[in-house]
Amino acid sequence: MSARSQTKLGEVGESLHLVRSLRDCLASGVLVVNRREQIVSCNPEAERLLNLPSGKTLHAPITLLPVALQNLVREVIAGKKPVTCEQLNLLAGSSVTHTYHVNLVPVRSQADSLDVVVVLSDITSFARLEGAVTRLDRLSTIGTLSATMAHEIKNALVAVKTFVDLLLEKNRDSELSEVVSREMKRMESIVGQMLKFGGPARPNFSTVRLHDVLEQSLRMVQHKLDGKLISLNRSFNATPDAVHGDDYQLEQAFVNLFLNAAEATGANGSLTVTTEVVAAASKTAPHVRVIVKDTGVGITPEHLQKLFEPFFTTKHHGTGLGLPITQRIIQEHRGEITVESEPDKGTTFFIKIPVAHRA
């Protein structure tokens, strides 16, 4: 080999090394797939984003990739045209879904074979932020709508309350009177919340025994459970169970959760409500955690992502407002609500609310 050829070969080697170095330090995932549907190049970021085995992807089949991405690659190979996907949801790992911006470009090599270059960026945080802004816009619309509706309902409620009070004076059933009186107050509280929905909510905070709230909420849905022969299991272990909150609002939140569980659970199923105290992290107060678990139909991953969006519902008669209102109530109590579910296996909600400070 001549000195000139050796020099050229060295320059090519240096260029290839530079290209690989640039590829490997890119913030985006980059991989190349040939016409035979084999991965011929893959940078570390692509391995990380797609949860691929590190350093073991060369000449691996594209079946190693998520199915949605495989389909896009085949689309480019067949059509020989670039494809851009603004938002592609892919499963990263065993259970976590991430959102990616994906570009696929066909490239012809010197041997006239077609390769597909795939460039993908993780935009999960941006997509979540965008979704949060959209939800806020929708909540603003709900606020205007609910305030108008609540104003009309409140006028009618005044007349209803007057007639109910007259009827209760003639009926000396103390238990009935107590239930009706309590529920009328609850309706007034809910209407009041609707009137304030467009602005910051003002719960009436006091020290509340969360177990009492749960018992009252379960009493409200007991007829639903009995009608479907759903067994109810309680395990109230939280000590203390005192939280700083609004008992009417908390009751509304848990009634929503229990009703959803009852509607999702078939005959002879079960509903389990558990409480426990979760130890404090660093300087934060300990929390009471409430676990609401049903053996119902479960929720698909696609629906799970939209569960707390206003107006989203899978029910024929649902409004899609129960869970957003529940989430808002829990957040107003400085708590959080999360959910896990599998189709045909049931759903579990986890609610955490800080324990009330002792006087």
pLDDT band, very low/low/confident/very high, at 110 (cuts 50, 70, 90)? low
- The residue among 214 and 15 whose pLDDT is bigger is 214
Closest-CA residue to 39 (of 94, 118, 128): 118
Provide the sign of the torsion angle of the four alpha carbons 337, 311, 314, 153, taken in this order.
Answer: positive
Residue 166, pLDDT > 70, answer: yes
Give CB contacts under 8 A, 24+ apart, made by 100-109: 100/49, 102/69, 102/72, 104/72, 104/73, 104/75, 104/76, 105/76, 106/76, 106/77, 106/80, 106/81, 106/82, 107/32
Write the single-letter amino acid at 225: L
Separation between Cα atoms, residue 109 and residue 77, nearest integer Å: 14
**In-domain check, residue 12:** no
Question: Are 301 and 342 members of one domain?
Answer: yes
Interatomic CA distance for residues 232 and 9, integer angstroms = 76
Q: Confirm whether 101 is domain-assigned.
A: yes
* Position 309 confidence tier, pLDDT thresholds 50, 70, 90: confident
- Do 43 and 173 share a domain, yes or no? no
Helix (H) or strand (E) holding 97: strand 96-108
252 and 265 share one domain: yes
Same domain, 159 and 292: no
* Gap between the Cα atoms of 32 and 68, Å rounded: 16
pLDDT digits (tens, 9 = 90+) for 175-213: 777 777 777 777 777 776 666 555 445 678 999 999 999
- Nearest-angstrom CA–CA distance, 172 and 178: 11
Q: What is the pLDDT of residue 15?
A: 55
* pLDDT, position 84: 80
Q: What Rg value do the Cα atoms of the chain yield, rounded?
A: 29
Judgement on whether residues 196 and 145 belong to the same structural domain of the protein: yes
Q: What percent of the chain has pLDDT over 70?
A: 75
| Boundary residue ending a domain (176, 202, 228) | 202
Helix, strand, coil in percent for the chain, rounding step 5: 45, 25, 30
Q: Is residue 349 part of a domain?
A: yes
Dihedral sign for Cα atoms in the order 234, 237, 240, 246: negative
Average pLDDT rounded to a whole number, residues 226-253: 93
CB 201 within 8 Å of CB 328: yes
**Is residue 11 in some structural domain?**
no
In a domain, 1, yes or no: no
Question: Could you tell me if 249 and 355 lie in one domain?
Answer: yes
**pLDDT value at residue 200:** 46
CA-CA distance, 120 to 65, in Å (whole number)? Answer: 13
Residue 172 clears pLDDT 70, i.e. is over it: no
**277 beta partners:** 288
Q: What is the mean pLDDT of residues 310-321?
A: 70
Asked whether residue 130 falls in the same domain as residue 118, the answer is no
Domain CATH code at residue 59: 3.30.450.20
Average pLDDT score over residue span 101-113: 79
pLDDT at 222 over 60: yes
Q: Say whether both 223 and 355 belong to one domain.
A: yes
Residue 162 in domain: yes
Last residue of one domain, picked from the residues 154, 171, 202? 202
Higher pLDDT residue, 157 or 24?
157
pLDDT, tens only, 266-299:
999 999 999 999 987 666 779 999 999 999 999 9
**Residue 242 forms part of a structural domain:** yes
Query: What span, in angstroms and rounded, lies between the C-alpha atoms of 325 and 75?
Result: 43
User: How far apart, in whole angstroms, are the C-alpha atoms of residue 330 and residue 336?
Assistant: 6
Residue 174 sits at the vertex; the CA angle it makes with 171 and 180, to the nearest 5 degrees, is 80
Judgement on whether residues 102 and 236 belong to the same structural domain of the protein: no
Final residue in a domain of this structure, among 148, 180, 202:
202
pLDDT digits (tens, 9 = 90+) for 121-144: 888 877 777 776 666 666 666 666
Number of domains the chain contains = 3
Q: What single letter denotes the amino acid at residue 332?
A: E
On whether residue 187 sits in a domain, the answer given is yes
Q: What is the residue range of 31's domain?
A: 21-122
Q: How far apart are alpha carbons 1 and 9 in whole angstroms?
A: 10
> What pLDDT score does 14 carry?
56
Q: Domain with 228 in it: what CATH number?
A: 3.30.565.10
Q: Give yes or no: residues 30 and 65 share one domain.
A: yes
Pair (292, 192) in one structural domain: no
Measured distance CA(96)–CA(104) in Å, rounded: 23
pLDDT of residue 298: 93
The reply to whether 258 and 313 lie within a common domain is yes
